[in-house]
Amino acid sequence: MTTPSVYLDRVTKELSKLPGIGHKSASRIAFHLLKMGKPDVENIAASLIDLKNNIRACAECGGISDSEICSLCSDTGRERDVLCVVEGARDVLNIEASGEFKGRYHVLSGLISPLDGIGPEDLNISTLVKKCAAGGFEEIIMALSPTIEGDATTLYVASLISPFGIKVTRIAHGLPVGCDLEYVDCATIAKSIEGRVRI
């Protein structure tokens, strides 16, 4: 196939490396960029470079941060005795969006998965244990996905933390809010019956 521009080809090829973007979408975006004004395209390019240059892992929680310590960890208004352990930085955004949690976070940057060759030493677990050893926490909330890897990581972290006498809890398993019982799979229904609450 002969193409009119190697520059267009290059942009299409680079964009199709992104998640959820195939060759067709990449080509569409490339043509759109071509049509856009130069300042707008420069803004996009600069914002991408800035993203890569300026974001780092927060020294405190392991989440994403623009400075040494992220805005959530340095916020003095947040409860200091509850810590929520999550898999990735995106989970922090999701839990923050719920507005339900007022404590601080700890990001593991993955889950234990022997099948993928990921062990505890590859995750941000040792800093969590140090934090807990230093004291000051009443409760650690494990907010990991209810998969085999998530459950294993939860159990592992709990076994390391419980010797410090800190309460370790896990977020509930069960029905999504507003769902129709008819469409829920049996494993989820079984979990929600197991975890039923008194009213």
Partner 1 sequence: MILTNLKLINFRNYENLEINFSPEINFITGDNGSGKTNILEAISVISNLKSFRNINDNNIINWNKDSYYCSGEVSNSEFSRFEVGFSFQNNKPKKKIKIDSHEIKKVSDYYGKLITVNFIPTDINIINGSPELRRRYFDSVISKLYPDYIDELNKYKEICYSRNLILKKIKDNRGDLKLLEVWNKMFSDKASSILKKRKSFIIEFNKLFIKNYLKISGEDNSPYLNYITTLKSDDPDSILSEVNNNSRIDVRRGNTVYGPHRDDYIITNSDKIAFINYASQGQKRTASISLKFSEVEIIKILKNKKCIILVDDIFSELDEKRRNSMIDLLKNEGQIIFTMVNHFYDKNILSNSKQFFVNKGIVSDGLNN
Residue (88 or 120) nearer to partner 1, CB: 120
Q: How many CB atoms lie within 10 A of CB 192?
A: 17
186 binds partner 1 (CB under 8 A): yes
- Closer to partner 1 at the Cβ: 73 or 168? 168
Binding test (CB under 8 A) with partner 1, winner from 11, 41, 72, 160: 160
**How do strand 139-142 and strand 167-170 relate by DSSP bridges?**
parallel
Q: What would the two tokens of residue 177 be?
A: 């809010």
Closer to partner 1 by CB, 19 or 117: give it: 117
Question: For residue 118, with 0-12 CB atoms within 10 Å meaning exposed, 13-18 middle and 19 or more buried, which class applies?
Answer: middle
First to last CA, the chain: 67
Task: With contacts defined by CB under 8 A, name the span among 76-84, 101-109, 151-159, 175-183 that binds partner 1.
Answer: 151-159
CA of 88: how far to CAs of 55, 67, 92, 105, 109, in Å?
15, 18, 7, 10, 5
Under rule CB under 8 A, residue 144 binds partner 1: no
CA angle, 9 as apex, 8 and 11 as ends, to 5°? Answer: 65
- Rounded CA-CA distance 63/20 in Å is 24
Question: Residue 152 Cβ, how far from partner 1 at the closest point, in Å?
Answer: 5
From the list 163, 108, 103, the residue with the least C-alpha distance to 133 is 163
Count interface residues toward partner 1 (CB under 8 A).
16
Is residue 129 a contact point for partner 1 (CB under 8 A)? no
Please report how close the Cβ of residue 187 comes to partner 1 at its closest, in angstroms. Answer: 6
Q: Which of 8, 11, 152, 171 binds partner 1 (CB under 8 A)?
A: 152
Q: Which of 159, 167, 169, 195 binds partner 1 (CB under 8 A)?
A: 159
Q: Which is nearer to partner 1, 186 or 199 (CB)?
A: 186
Given the rule CB under 8 A, which residues bind partner 1?
A: 112-115, 119-120, 148, 151-152, 155-156, 159-160, 185-187
